[in-house]
Structure 1
Amino acid sequence: MNQQKMDTVGVKVLETAEDIQERRQQVLDRYRRFKDLSMVRRQKLEDSYRFQFFRRDADELEKWIQEKLQIASDENYKDPSNLQGKLQKHQAFEAEVQANAAAIIELDKTGNLMITEGHFASETIRSRLEELHRLWDLLLQKTKEKGMRLLQAQKLLQYLRECEDALDWISDKVRTGSGRRTALGQQSSF
């Protein structure tokens, strides 16, 4: 009798082919959902990773621009000493700024690609790019203004030197002319 119960229990333990197929399908469905969720999670992690690199690059570029803005905003053109040296230094500064234009172009490409792909931080990326462009344009403007002011200061200094030379020349002529008149006046009294 025990043997017969086991057989009936054993039969109950053994499932039909349909039950096995259904169970197999459930396991496969769970595995597929797990893989899908894993892929979504992986994509989110990759997006986050790319965003962190974007933020790092944007922060570095902003820091560099801020440093250069301080230099471009410096009013050292008001001090006439060593204007030629200041002009040469400014030309090197302009070249450095232009050489770094590639950094903002590259950051633009990266940020715009992320926005186009529908990145979860698209709005943050867009506003960050706008702020960097505002700072970049300000840097270019200040650099140009400083260059013009240095050239104006150099021209002014040159003009003042020429005026000083002309005044010295006039003073020499006046002294020479006064000396001649005095000499002529002394000759006529003899």
Structure 2
Amino acid sequence: MKKLLFLVIPVLILTSFTESKAQYDYNWAAGFRIGEPLGFNLRKYFQNGDRAFDVNVGTYGLIYNNDRRYNNGEYKTAGLMIQGIYIFHTAIFNRDWAHAYYGFGGQINSRRHFPDAWKNESIKSVSKISLGPTGTAGVEFKLPNQQIGFFIDAGIYLEALPSPFFLNAQISGGLRFNLVK
């Protein structure tokens, strides 16, 4: 619960600074993120400019959380992750170059799991597919007179299947190139 408050409160504070809506003139943006998740990011801005949809494809557990307890065993490897998040964003301090955003969506992961039984038996690892809801909040800054923006965000993934209520913090930053006006 404390982690969730840590994410929600800063976004509420940042978005309360302005009444104006974010008016991005872009339709698509593509980039990469470093952290958790690590990989490719594609963003589709919607017509009003204050909403978007993010698709992230990359690794899950590569940078951190690759050696932790999970479902009567351990994770010891990184896996593939696909994430879709519906984003709400708004300008900070009425500036078009600074935006705060938050959103909610879903995440699917594929990762190898090492049950505790592998220490005593011939079972080495089990491939796991997991899914659950995810949320994120962050800030994005666009460079003046450029199509490039950088961002930092944090979020949480709450696994629903196969291990309900398994939590994983997700923190990353990266670059996004605004492609189509």
Instruction: For CA contacts below 8 A with separation 6 or more, give which structure has more relative contact order.
Output: 1
Q: Same fold (TM over 0.5)?
A: no
TM-score band (shorter)? under 0.3
Pick the structure with more strand per residue. Answer: 2
Query: Which has the greater radius of gyration?
Result: 1
TM-score scaled to structure 2, two decimals? 0.19
Pick the structure with more helix per residue. Answer: 1
